[in-house]
C-alpha cells in the first residue's frame, strides 16, 4: 500500500521509511507522488500543523498521506522555538545560524536549567473519514556547542544521556526520538488496522 509523506525533507523521509516500510507500506515523498502542495502551517499546535499538511497532500493525490510536525521546546525559553522551530529566525536562515543563536540565548544558563524536549505530532489520513493522530516526545537538554555530524536541524545541540542526537546512529535515534516514538505508535495502529 502506498503512503505519501507530506514533506520534501529527505532526513524525515528516511526516518518514516525505516519504521513504516517493514510493515508493508511503500513510502513515497511528495515529489515521487507528483504532489507539489505547500500549505501554510498556521496551526497553533504541532498536531494542527501535521493535520493541515496531511490533509493537503491527501486531497492533492487521493492516496493515504502522513505528515509530521515537530520542534524543539526549550524550558528556559518558555517552550520556544516550539511550533515555530522551522521558522525560528526565518525559514531561509541556515540551520547552523539558528543553532548558534539558540545557544547564545542560553548563555549563562546552568546545566540544570537547560532542559528541553523534542515533540512530534503525526497525522495519517487514510481516507476522508479515517484520520489517525499520535504524538511522541523525547526529553533531554541543550548542550553548549554543536556535537556530531549526523542528524539534521537542532540535532547537534540536543543532548540525551551525554550525547547529541547527531552523535546517534539512525537505529539509536529511532529508539528514543520524538519522531521514533510517534511513528511506532502509528506503526502499531496501522499494523492492527490492516491486519483486520
* 3-class SS of residue 10: helix
> How confident is the model at residue 164, as a pLDDT?
96
Q: What is the DSSP letter of 62?
A: S
Query: What are 43-81's pLDDT values in tens digits?
Result: 999 999 999 999 999 999 999 999 999 999 999 999 999
Contact 6, 17 (CB under 8 A): no
Question: pTM score, two decimals?
Answer: 0.88
- CATH number given to 2-195: 3.90.950.10
Domain boundaries, the chain: 2-195
Count CB neighbours of 120 within 10 A.
25
Contact 24, 194 (CB under 8 A): yes
Give the C-alpha separation, 123 to 70, whole Å: 12
Give Cβ neighbours of residue 185 (< 8 Å, ≥ 6 apart): 122, 134, 135, 136
Contact 135, 182 (CB under 8 A): yes
Give the C-alpha separation, 77 to 91, whole Å: 20
Query: What are 134-151's pLDDT values in tens digits?
Result: 999 999 999 999 999 987
Q: Which residues are catalytic?
A: 69
Residue written as grid cell 515537530: 70
Amino acid at each position: 500500500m502506498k503512503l505519501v509523506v507530506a514533506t520534501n525533507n529527505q532526513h524525515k523521509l528516511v526516518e518514516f521509511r525505516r519504521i513504516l516500510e517493514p510493515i508493508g507500506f511503500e513510502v513515497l515523498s511528495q515529489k515521487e507522488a507528483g504532489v507539489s502542495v505547500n500549505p501554510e502551517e498556521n496551526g497553533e499546535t504541532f498536531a494542527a500543523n501535521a493535520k493541515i499538511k496531511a490533509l493537503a497532500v491527501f486531497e492533492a493525490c487521493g492516496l493515504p498521506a502522513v505528515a509530521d510536525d515537530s520542534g524543539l521546546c526549550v524550558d528556559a525559553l518558555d517552550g520556544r522555538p516550539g511550533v515555530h522551530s522551522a521558522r525560528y529566525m526565518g525559514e531561509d536562515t541556515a540551520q547552523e545560524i539558528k543553532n548558534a543563536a539558540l545557544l547564545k540565548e542560553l548563555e549563562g544558563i546552568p546545566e540544570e536549567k537547560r532542559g528541553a524536549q523534542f515533540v512530534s505530532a503525526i497525522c495519517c489520513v487514510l481516507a476522508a473519514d479515517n484520520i489517525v493522530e499520535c504524538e511522541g516526545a523525547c526529553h533531554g537538554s541543550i548542550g553548549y556547542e554543536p556535537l556530531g555530524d549526523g542528524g539534521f536541524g537542532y540535532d547537534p545541540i540536543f543532548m540525551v544521556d551525554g550525547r547529541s542526537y547527531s552523535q546517534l546512529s539512525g537505529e539509536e535515534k529511532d529508539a528514543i526520538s520524538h519522531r521514533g516514538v510517534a511513528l511506532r505508535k502509528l506503526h502499531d495502529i496501522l499494523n492492527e488496522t490492516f491486519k483486520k
